[in-house]
Amino acid sequence: MKQRNIYENVETEPAVDMSSYLDMEAIIDARLQRLDYENFNNRYKGIRSYKSSGSGSCHLKNYYDFKNDEFIPNTNPVSNRLLALGNSIHDTIQFSYREWFDRNKPEGVDLHIEPRFEDPELMVAGHLDILIIDRINKRIVIRDIKSAGNFTFQKIFGQKKNRDELSAENNKLQIGTYGHMVMQRVVKQKGANDYELMMFLDYYKKETSVMKSIQVPVEYVTKAFEYWQSQLEFTRTINELTGGFITLNDLQMYDDLPKQSWECNYCNFARTCPIPNQL
Protein backbone atom coordinates (compact mmCIF):
# COMPACT_ATOMS: atom_id res chain seq x y z
CA MET A 1 0.00 0.00 0.00
CA LYS A 2 1.21 3.48 -0.80
CA GLN A 3 2.42 5.81 1.94
CA ARG A 4 0.54 9.11 2.04
CA ASN A 5 2.88 12.10 1.95
CA ILE A 6 1.47 14.57 4.47
CA TYR A 7 3.36 17.40 2.76
CA GLU A 8 1.58 17.02 -0.57
CA ASN A 9 -2.03 17.64 -1.42
CA VAL A 10 -2.53 14.34 -3.18
CA GLU A 11 -4.91 11.49 -2.62
CA THR A 12 -3.23 8.13 -2.09
CA GLU A 13 -4.09 5.03 -0.17
CA PRO A 14 -3.42 5.19 3.60
CA ALA A 15 -0.50 3.23 4.99
CA VAL A 16 -2.53 1.83 7.87
CA ASP A 17 -5.92 0.17 8.26
CA MET A 18 -9.00 2.29 8.82
CA SER A 19 -8.98 1.63 12.56
CA SER A 20 -6.19 4.22 12.73
CA TYR A 21 -8.93 6.78 13.40
CA LEU A 22 -8.67 5.50 16.98
CA ASP A 23 -5.15 6.95 17.25
CA MET A 24 -5.99 10.51 18.26
CA GLU A 25 -2.39 11.60 18.82
CA ALA A 26 -1.29 10.43 15.38
CA ILE A 27 -4.15 12.30 13.71
CA ILE A 28 -3.36 15.51 15.57
CA ASP A 29 0.40 15.25 15.05
CA ALA A 30 0.00 14.66 11.31
CA ARG A 31 -2.13 17.79 11.00
CA LEU A 32 0.31 19.91 13.01
CA GLN A 33 3.22 18.74 10.85
CA ARG A 34 1.28 19.68 7.75
CA LEU A 35 0.43 23.13 9.15
CA ASP A 36 4.09 23.67 10.03
CA TYR A 37 5.07 22.79 6.47
CA GLU A 38 2.43 25.08 4.97
CA ASN A 39 3.51 27.93 7.24
CA PHE A 40 7.11 27.49 6.06
CA ASN A 41 6.03 27.58 2.41
CA ASN A 42 3.80 30.61 2.88
CA ARG A 43 6.18 32.69 4.95
CA TYR A 44 9.76 31.61 4.38
CA LYS A 45 10.22 29.48 1.26
CA GLY A 46 12.40 31.29 -1.25
CA ILE A 47 12.79 34.39 0.97
CA ARG A 48 16.40 35.13 1.80
CA SER A 49 16.33 37.00 5.09
CA TYR A 50 16.98 36.53 8.77
CA LYS A 51 13.92 35.91 10.93
CA SER A 52 13.08 38.55 13.52
CA SER A 53 12.32 35.68 15.93
CA GLY A 54 16.07 34.97 15.90
CA SER A 55 16.80 38.25 17.67
CA GLY A 56 19.41 37.75 20.37
CA SER A 57 19.98 34.11 19.39
CA CYS A 58 23.21 32.35 18.50
CA HIS A 59 24.72 33.99 15.41
CA LEU A 60 25.60 30.59 13.99
CA LYS A 61 22.01 29.38 14.29
CA ASN A 62 20.82 32.46 12.41
CA TYR A 63 23.56 31.86 9.83
CA TYR A 64 22.40 28.30 9.13
CA ASP A 65 18.77 29.38 9.10
CA PHE A 66 19.54 32.13 6.59
CA LYS A 67 21.33 29.72 4.28
CA ASN A 68 18.68 27.03 4.52
CA ASP A 69 15.77 27.01 2.08
CA GLU A 70 14.39 23.58 2.90
CA PHE A 71 11.72 22.69 5.39
CA ILE A 72 13.11 21.02 8.51
CA PRO A 73 10.29 19.20 10.31
CA ASN A 74 10.07 19.35 14.07
CA THR A 75 10.10 15.67 14.98
CA ASN A 76 9.08 16.26 18.60
CA PRO A 77 5.27 15.91 18.70
CA VAL A 78 4.99 17.48 22.15
CA SER A 79 6.86 20.55 20.94
CA ASN A 80 4.52 20.83 17.96
CA ARG A 81 1.50 20.66 20.24
CA LEU A 82 2.90 23.38 22.48
CA LEU A 83 3.44 25.55 19.41
CA ALA A 84 -0.15 24.90 18.35
CA LEU A 85 -1.35 25.92 21.81
CA GLY A 86 0.64 29.14 21.53
CA ASN A 87 -0.85 29.81 18.09
CA SER A 88 -4.38 29.37 19.41
CA ILE A 89 -3.64 31.89 22.17
CA HIS A 90 -2.33 34.33 19.54
CA ASP A 91 -5.47 33.83 17.44
CA THR A 92 -7.79 34.50 20.39
CA ILE A 93 -6.02 37.71 21.41
CA GLN A 94 -5.77 39.00 17.85
CA PHE A 95 -9.43 38.21 17.15
CA SER A 96 -10.40 40.05 20.34
CA TYR A 97 -8.52 43.15 19.19
CA ARG A 98 -10.08 42.97 15.74
CA GLU A 99 -13.57 42.58 17.20
CA TRP A 100 -13.05 45.50 19.59
CA PHE A 101 -11.94 47.77 16.76
CA ASP A 102 -14.86 46.65 14.55
CA ARG A 103 -17.35 47.41 17.33
CA ASN A 104 -15.91 50.67 18.58
CA LYS A 105 -14.34 52.12 15.41
CA PRO A 106 -12.02 54.57 17.21
CA GLU A 107 -11.53 57.65 15.04
CA GLY A 108 -8.08 58.12 13.62
CA VAL A 109 -6.79 54.80 14.98
CA ASP A 110 -5.82 51.92 12.68
CA LEU A 111 -5.33 48.28 13.66
CA HIS A 112 -3.06 45.90 11.74
CA ILE A 113 -2.82 42.18 12.55
CA GLU A 114 0.39 40.34 11.62
CA PRO A 115 1.72 42.86 9.10
CA ARG A 116 5.03 41.86 7.55
CA PHE A 117 8.01 44.18 7.95
CA GLU A 118 11.54 43.97 6.63
CA ASP A 119 14.80 45.88 6.58
CA PRO A 120 16.64 45.14 3.32
CA GLU A 121 19.92 46.50 4.66
CA LEU A 122 19.90 44.37 7.80
CA MET A 123 18.31 41.54 5.77
CA VAL A 124 15.83 40.78 8.55
CA ALA A 125 12.06 40.33 8.28
CA GLY A 126 9.12 39.21 10.38
CA HIS A 127 5.41 39.39 11.12
CA LEU A 128 4.30 41.60 13.99
CA ASP A 129 1.40 40.33 16.13
CA ILE A 130 -0.44 43.61 16.65
CA LEU A 131 0.26 47.11 15.32
CA ILE A 132 -1.85 50.15 16.25
CA ILE A 133 -1.30 53.54 14.62
CA ASP A 134 -3.01 56.38 16.49
CA ARG A 135 -2.97 59.48 14.28
CA ILE A 136 -4.89 61.57 16.82
CA ASN A 137 -2.44 61.13 19.70
CA LYS A 138 0.55 60.58 17.40
CA ARG A 139 1.30 57.18 18.87
CA ILE A 140 2.47 53.85 17.46
CA VAL A 141 1.77 50.79 19.63
CA ILE A 142 3.21 47.38 18.88
CA ARG A 143 2.41 44.24 20.85
CA ASP A 144 4.11 40.86 20.70
CA ILE A 145 2.26 37.93 22.28
CA LYS A 146 4.22 35.25 24.14
CA SER A 147 2.81 32.07 25.67
CA ALA A 148 5.00 30.94 28.55
CA GLY A 149 5.25 28.07 30.97
CA ASN A 150 5.44 28.53 34.72
CA PHE A 151 9.26 28.50 34.86
CA THR A 152 9.66 31.31 32.33
CA PHE A 153 6.74 33.26 33.78
CA GLN A 154 8.26 33.18 37.27
CA LYS A 155 11.64 34.28 35.93
CA ILE A 156 9.98 37.40 34.54
CA PHE A 157 7.12 38.16 36.94
CA GLY A 158 7.84 36.09 40.06
CA GLN A 159 9.30 37.21 43.36
CA LYS A 160 12.26 39.53 42.88
CA LYS A 161 14.68 37.01 44.36
CA ASN A 162 13.64 34.49 41.70
CA ARG A 163 13.67 36.83 38.72
CA ASP A 164 16.26 36.72 35.96
CA GLU A 165 16.66 40.00 34.08
CA LEU A 166 17.88 38.15 30.99
CA SER A 167 14.85 35.85 30.72
CA ALA A 168 13.00 38.28 28.47
CA GLU A 169 16.08 39.73 26.76
CA ASN A 170 15.62 37.98 23.41
CA ASN A 171 11.92 38.87 23.41
CA LYS A 172 12.85 42.52 24.02
CA LEU A 173 15.33 42.42 21.15
CA GLN A 174 12.68 40.86 18.91
CA ILE A 175 10.12 43.56 19.59
CA GLY A 176 12.93 46.11 19.31
CA THR A 177 13.57 44.72 15.83
CA TYR A 178 9.89 45.23 14.99
CA GLY A 179 10.07 48.73 16.44
CA HIS A 180 13.01 49.56 14.20
CA MET A 181 11.29 48.26 11.06
CA VAL A 182 7.91 49.81 11.90
CA MET A 183 9.32 53.27 12.52
CA GLN A 184 11.45 53.00 9.41
CA ARG A 185 8.39 52.31 7.22
CA VAL A 186 5.82 54.49 8.97
CA VAL A 187 8.11 57.50 9.15
CA LYS A 188 8.95 57.07 5.47
CA GLN A 189 5.35 56.63 4.32
CA LYS A 190 3.46 58.90 6.71
CA GLY A 191 6.11 61.35 7.90
CA ALA A 192 5.47 60.25 11.47
CA ASN A 193 8.90 61.13 12.85
CA ASP A 194 7.26 62.84 15.86
CA TYR A 195 5.16 59.82 16.85
CA GLU A 196 5.67 58.14 20.21
CA LEU A 197 6.62 54.46 20.00
CA MET A 198 5.20 52.13 22.65
CA MET A 199 6.27 48.47 22.71
CA PHE A 200 4.61 45.77 24.82
CA LEU A 201 5.37 42.12 25.45
CA ASP A 202 2.18 40.32 26.43
CA TYR A 203 2.78 37.06 28.32
CA TYR A 204 0.12 34.37 28.69
CA LYS A 205 0.80 31.76 31.36
CA LYS A 206 -0.26 28.44 29.88
CA GLU A 207 -0.96 26.63 33.16
CA THR A 208 -3.35 29.22 34.62
CA SER A 209 -4.25 31.63 31.76
CA VAL A 210 -2.90 34.55 33.82
CA MET A 211 -1.80 37.43 31.57
CA LYS A 212 0.81 40.07 32.30
CA SER A 213 2.52 42.65 30.12
CA ILE A 214 5.75 44.60 30.23
CA GLN A 215 6.50 47.79 28.36
CA VAL A 216 9.85 47.55 26.63
CA PRO A 217 12.06 50.67 26.70
CA VAL A 218 12.55 52.33 23.33
CA GLU A 219 16.32 51.87 23.74
CA TYR A 220 15.78 48.28 22.59
CA VAL A 221 15.23 49.60 19.06
CA THR A 222 18.89 50.64 19.02
CA LYS A 223 20.01 47.45 20.77
CA ALA A 224 18.18 45.33 18.18
CA PHE A 225 19.71 47.31 15.33
CA GLU A 226 23.19 46.76 16.78
CA TYR A 227 22.50 43.04 17.24
CA TRP A 228 21.58 42.56 13.58
CA GLN A 229 24.59 44.59 12.50
CA SER A 230 26.75 42.16 14.47
CA GLN A 231 24.93 39.26 12.78
CA LEU A 232 25.76 40.66 9.34
CA GLU A 233 29.41 41.08 10.33
CA PHE A 234 29.52 37.52 11.65
CA THR A 235 28.05 36.16 8.41
CA ARG A 236 30.52 38.13 6.27
CA THR A 237 33.46 36.92 8.32
CA ILE A 238 32.38 33.26 8.28
CA ASN A 239 31.76 33.36 4.53
CA GLU A 240 35.22 34.81 3.91
CA LEU A 241 36.91 32.28 6.17
CA THR A 242 35.08 29.13 5.22
CA GLY A 243 33.10 29.56 2.03
CA GLY A 244 30.16 28.07 3.93
CA PHE A 245 31.73 24.82 5.25
CA ILE A 246 32.35 25.51 8.93
CA THR A 247 34.63 23.62 11.31
CA LEU A 248 35.20 24.15 15.02
CA ASN A 249 38.57 25.78 14.30
CA ASP A 250 36.82 28.48 12.27
CA LEU A 251 34.87 29.52 15.37
CA GLN A 252 37.71 29.82 17.88
CA MET A 253 37.64 33.62 17.73
CA TYR A 254 34.09 33.66 19.10
CA ASP A 255 33.40 33.12 22.80
CA ASP A 256 29.62 33.63 22.63
CA LEU A 257 28.52 30.68 20.50
CA PRO A 258 25.90 29.77 21.51
CA LYS A 259 24.56 32.88 23.23
CA GLN A 260 22.88 30.65 25.83
CA SER A 261 24.05 27.14 26.75
CA TRP A 262 20.55 25.64 26.30
CA GLU A 263 20.13 26.86 22.71
CA CYS A 264 21.74 23.81 21.11
CA ASN A 265 19.08 21.54 22.65
CA TYR A 266 16.36 23.30 20.64
CA CYS A 267 18.28 24.09 17.46
CA ASN A 268 17.20 22.56 14.14
CA PHE A 269 20.80 22.71 12.95
CA ALA A 270 22.45 20.88 15.86
CA ARG A 271 23.41 17.95 13.59
CA THR A 272 25.08 20.27 11.10
CA CYS A 273 26.78 22.57 13.58
CA PRO A 274 30.24 21.64 14.94
CA ILE A 275 29.55 23.18 18.36
CA PRO A 276 27.02 20.92 20.19
CA ASN A 277 29.39 17.97 20.47
CA GLN A 278 31.90 20.23 22.25
CA LEU A 279 29.54 21.47 24.97
> What digits encode the pLDDT tens for the residues 86-135?
999 999 999 999 999 999 999 999 999 999 999 999 999 999 999 999 99
Residue 255 pLDDT: 83
Residue 226 pLDDT: 98
Residue 73 pLDDT: 80
Residue 249 pLDDT: 83
Phi/psi for 204 (5° steps) reads: -120, 115
Given a cut of 70, the residues of the chain with pLDDT beneath it are 1-19, 190-192, 244, 276-279
Q: How far is CA 200 from CA 62, 145, 216, 253, in A?
A: 24, 9, 6, 36
Dihedral sign, Cα of residue 100, residue 178, residue 49, residue 85: negative
Residue 17 pLDDT: 57
CB 22 within 8 A of CB 49: no
Per DSSP bridges, beta strands 50-51 and 124-127 are parallel
Residue 126 pLDDT: 94
Look up residue 121 and give its amino acid: E
Residue 191 pLDDT: 67
